[in-house]
Structure 1
Amino acid sequence: MRIEEILDCEELSSLQRKILWIARFSWAFVAMEIIIISFTLSLFTKIFNLKGFEIGLLASASLIGNIIGAVIFGGIGDKVGRRPLFQITLLWYSIFTALTSLSNTFYELVILRILAGIGLGGMLVIDPALLSEFLPPKKRGRLMVSLDLFWPIGSFIALLLAYLFLESFNGNWRGLFLAAAFPAFMVALFRLIVPETPFFLAKIGKIEVAASILTKLTGRNIEANSITFAVEEEGSYSELFTFYKRRVIAMLAAWMSLNYTYYGLFLWLPTALNILALYGNNIWFFLVLAFLFQIPGYLSAMFLVEKWGRKSTLTVYLLMSGITGITMGLTTNNVLLFTMSMLLVSFFNLGAWGSVYPFTSELFPTKLRGKSFGLAEGTGKVIAVLGPLIFGALYEITGVVTIPLMVTMTIAIVGSIIILIFAPETKKLVFD
């Protein structure tokens, strides 16, 4: 039997549920770490007397680390396996996040944010690749989206911690970063129980070990001689572009447009709301609403990736995030319409994020899965770095928030069109 067929059970086993929950909580801390800097930018601007470029550099520092981590760990993961890197990456991030609290200069702060970002970049590649190889194929799409449901939860935790330490504790940013590191460190310890994936073990010829893991995953006695799996040579990036060119184009369009729009908009959102002065002293309340609207976006995507398919859900949600984002840019003089547009952008943009992981994980065979995620994350994070910088540059040139908002969210529409043209539907594709 193929590993896909062995894993195709109606109910998740105890081990599968544990792995899923560990991955979910880890994902929440990735979001918390990336978003938390947006709440500290104005404070650091005052402390270190920062100029425009320096503010943008600080906002993008962890994203720069993401690029490095995604490319490095994605390639290594296809060689040494998912498990070792699954254990290392979160621990790496939590250590350097804690060390961020010891920064005394602007450049120390930037360097430590980059180093923490390297661990995050590894997690963004390894975690979905590992999780997808433990899940039943019929439930994989919905459960992969459930992983991303914890992204807005992490963002919400970041907002609460920022409010607690920056508002209630008089700008205690050092305590903020220590608080962000501690729970991540605890989850890193729980990641030690996760085994290597049976797909990777079979790929490198360790069929007996793969059978043992499959026995634990399914609760059935799986014999090694019952597993059929072709042991293949290691995949390469050139193979991606030679045999899967159209899929690579669609994958890169999805990741580039999502990264540019998400980080360009949401890392600037607290600052933009301050500039617009639409909400007076109630900015924190409306930020809470924006992050809460991400949750139903994910929940709806969790249902629709199985109902509509991965490609269809991703395309529609990305398109709608662009349309509502442009509407947001056009209604900065109307509080009601602006607020409705902001909430819908949160809904559709984060729902699109929930669709892109099952979409990407099913585009390529096992030997190329780590590299494809590494390429997607690395390329996406290059664009993510540009999002906040270009937003800031356009605001500085034009003096209004309308144009940066519209330019940023137009990219989502372009991405959705490319996906529609080049991507296959991955819902019924079989892993190998």
Structure 2
Amino acid sequence: MVRVEEILDLDRISAVQSRIIWIARVSWAFVAMEIILISFTLPLFTRILGLNEIQKGLLASAVLIGDVIGAALFGRISDIIGRRPVFQLSLLWYSIFTALTALSTGFYDLLAYRLLAGVGLGGMLVVDPALLSEFLPPRRRGMLMVSLDLFWPVGSLVALGLAYVFLELGGGSWRLLFLAAAFPALTISLFRLYVPESPYYLAKKGDLARASEVLRRLTGRDVRPESIEFAIEERGSYEELFTKYRGRAIAMLFAWASLNYTYYGLFLWLPEVLGVAKLYGNIWLYLALAFILQIPGYVSAMILVERWGRKKTLVLYLLMSGITGIVMAIATGDALIFTLALLMVSFFNLGAWGSVYPFTSELFPTKLRGKAFGLAEGFGKIIAVLGPIIFGALFQITGSVETPLLATMIIAIIGSVAVQILAPETKGMIFD
């Protein structure tokens, strides 16, 4: 008898696995594209619909609210009917409601379509990584999963390109923008039909014939149904998480909350912030540079977590994103300092994302790791919803973009300090 992960434990990535990885990466870029897309339309919707700052904050957070609902809904459904059906449905769902956004006539239906599109994205956020991880060799799974987030800034750049074409060159053609954003997602949904059901899920359900067929396709090995063994993993409890590992759990929540709050609070308001700052030239160039700098920020963190340490890298990048963000808030009247600070915020914020995954995975033993990640993702997304809303409320109350920007970036510093005080360094730590 042999376990599923032992069958998948190859020294190489097969051609089938490679195709699935690339399908997941492109899909992940579309998640980022969809979330960030609304930020480019907020100035236009302000003029067309007469939105106030609180309404703009709600509109920016609508997709994130849908994310929370979709993650809970589709995560549960995927445990009942399988990963693959939800993998197909979630992208199709978000594509349809993204296209329907083009039919909006006012604030409330626009808000509803964005929230419903977010439900599909929530399904993708929870099911795509879970399904991908269940196709990969265990010894290479960690790095390949972390590399998925490299395609997040790629998706942001795609959103920026579409927005520039339809809003800047197209004279504010926001309806065409949302139709165009839905089309490539619909196209990739056809490629997602290539992805099979998870062999883990099939083995757990007792469908060993289909599990062996998927494993043969993934690995090229001759896998017989009767040879597959599925071991039921020991499951930990939330009580154990917050008793035996209380300090680490709190540090984890601070890290994920501060990252989600600062990323979504800042970047979903970034076009508005750039519109207030006294900059030279076109703000589209500044946006492009900010998103481009996210890529080396992420890569640098992936290198440092191995060479320097998980905790040290996360603390440094969170702290620097907060400090440079505060400089950015103070320097809205100085184009050069503001621009340099903006680029550093982008670099360090995405770098912090690159270090939080290996940091979190090594804080807890195997039986608690799944619960810890689920809690971190869920709590983080709830906090993410608050970022754009609170930013808009502070903007409305103070009439100044500097105040919400300062408040947002201070959260990153608080997260950095909490991790430094409460969490151990996990590099080289051995768990059962």
| TM-score, scaled to structure 1 | 0.89
1: CA distance, partners of 2:359 / 2:80: 23
| Residue 146 of structure 1: aligned partner | 147
| Residue 169 of structure 1: aligned partner | 170
1:268 aligns with 2:269: yes
1: CA distance, partners of 2:353 / 2:340: 20
Instruction: Compare 79-88 and 420-429 and name the one that shifted more.
Output: 420-429
Contact 1:78 1:234 survives alignment (8 Å): no
1: CA distance, partners of 2:203 / 2:418: 35
Residue aligned with 2:103, SS: coil
| Residue 404 of structure 1: aligned partner | 404
Instruction: Compare 262-271 and 368-377 and name the one that shifted more.
Output: 368-377
Same amino acid, percent of matched pairs? 66
| Residue 55 of structure 2: aligned partner | 54
1:328 aligns with 2:328: yes
- Using a 3 Å threshold, how does the CA distance of structure 1 residues 377 and 314 change in structure 2: closer, same or farther? same
1: CA distance, partners of 2:353 / 2:362: 15
- Using a 3 Å threshold, how does the CA distance of structure 1 residues 350 and 250 change in structure 2: closer, same or farther? same
| One-letter amino acid of the structure 2 residue matched with residue 301 of structure 1 | A
Q: Deviations over 1:273-332 (max 9, x none)?
A: 1112223x4211111110110111222234344445655543433233223222322333
| Residue 343 of structure 1: aligned partner | 343
2: CA distance, partners of 1:369 / 1:219: 30
| Residue 161 of structure 2: aligned partner | 160
Residue aligned with 2:232, SS: coil
| One-letter amino acid of the structure 2 residue matched with residue 93 of structure 1 | Y
2: CA distance, partners of 1:383 / 1:164: 32
Contact 1:74 1:122 survives alignment (8 Å): yes
| Residue 392 of structure 1: aligned partner | 392
2: CA distance, partners of 1:414 / 1:353: 16
Residue aligned with 2:33, SS: helix
Residue aligned with 1:101, SS: helix
| Residue 133 of structure 1: aligned partner | 134
- Please show how residues 16-415 of structure 1 align to structure 2 within 5 Å: 16-224=17-225, 227-231=228-232, 248-279=249-280, 281-308=281-308, 310-357=310-357, 359-360=359-360, 374-415=374-415
Contact 1:140 1:358 survives alignment (8 Å): no
Residue aligned with 1:293, SS: helix
- Using a 3 Å threshold, how does the CA distance of structure 1 residues 18 and 412 change in structure 2: closer, same or farther? same
- Using a 3 Å threshold, how does the CA distance of structure 1 residues 26 and 133 change in structure 2: closer, same or farther? same
1:6 aligns with 2:11: no
Q: Deviations over 1:189-222 (max 9, x none)?
A: 2112212223333444444543433332222223
Q: Higher RCO, 1 or 2 (CA under 8 Å, sep at least 6)?
A: 1
| One-letter amino acid of the structure 1 residue matched with residue 392 of structure 2 | G
2: CA distance, partners of 1:13 / 1:61: 39
| One-letter amino acid of the structure 1 residue matched with residue 404 of structure 2 | P
1: CA distance, partners of 2:419 / 2:125: 21
Contact 1:143 1:302 survives alignment (8 Å): no
Instruction: Compare 45-54 and 111-120 and name the one that shifted more.
Output: 45-54
Contact 1:73 1:374 survives alignment (8 Å): no
- Using a 3 Å threshold, how does the CA distance of structure 1 residues 263 and 13 change in structure 2: closer, same or farther? same
| One-letter amino acid of the structure 2 residue matched with residue 139 of structure 1 | R
Q: Deviations over 1:107-148 (max 9, x none)?
A: 111000000001111111111222222222332232222211
| One-letter amino acid of the structure 2 residue matched with residue 167 of structure 1 | E
Instruction: Compare 400-409 and 107-116 and name the one that shifted more.
Output: 400-409
Instruction: Compare 82-91 and 327-336 and name the one that shifted more.
Output: 327-336
Q: Deviations over 1:87-120 (max 9, x none)?
A: 1111110010001101112111100000000111
Q: CA deviation at 1:77?
A: 3.0
| One-letter amino acid of the structure 2 residue matched with residue 192 of structure 1 | L
Instruction: Compare 100-109 and 77-86 and name the one that shifted more.
Output: 77-86
1: CA distance, partners of 2:431 / 2:5: 8
2: CA distance, partners of 1:423 / 1:70: 30
Contact 1:129 1:361 survives alignment (8 Å): no
2: CA distance, partners of 1:363 / 1:78: 26
- Using a 3 Å threshold, how does the CA distance of structure 1 residues 417 and 84 change in structure 2: closer, same or farther? farther
| One-letter amino acid of the structure 2 residue matched with residue 407 of structure 1 | A
| One-letter amino acid of the structure 2 residue matched with residue 275 of structure 1 | V
Instruction: Compare 93-102 and 422-431 and name the one that shifted more.
Output: 422-431
- Using a 3 Å threshold, how does the CA distance of structure 1 residues 72 and 345 change in structure 2: closer, same or farther? same
Residue aligned with 2:73, SS: helix
Contact 1:66 1:378 survives alignment (8 Å): no
Contact 1:165 1:172 survives alignment (8 Å): yes
How many residue pairs get aligned? The number is: 430
Q: CA deviation at 1:370?
A: 6.9
Q: CA deviation at 1:71?
A: 1.9
2: CA distance, partners of 1:118 / 1:133: 23
Contact 1:144 1:358 survives alignment (8 Å): no
2: CA distance, partners of 1:18 / 1:370: 26
1: CA distance, partners of 2:31 / 2:213: 31
Contact 1:65 1:115 survives alignment (8 Å): yes
Q: CA deviation at 1:185?
A: 0.8
Structure 1: which 5+ residue stretches go unaligned? none
| One-letter amino acid of the structure 2 residue matched with residue 63 of structure 1 | L
Instruction: Compare 119-128 and 172-181 and name the one that shifted more.
Output: 119-128
Contact 1:142 1:305 survives alignment (8 Å): no
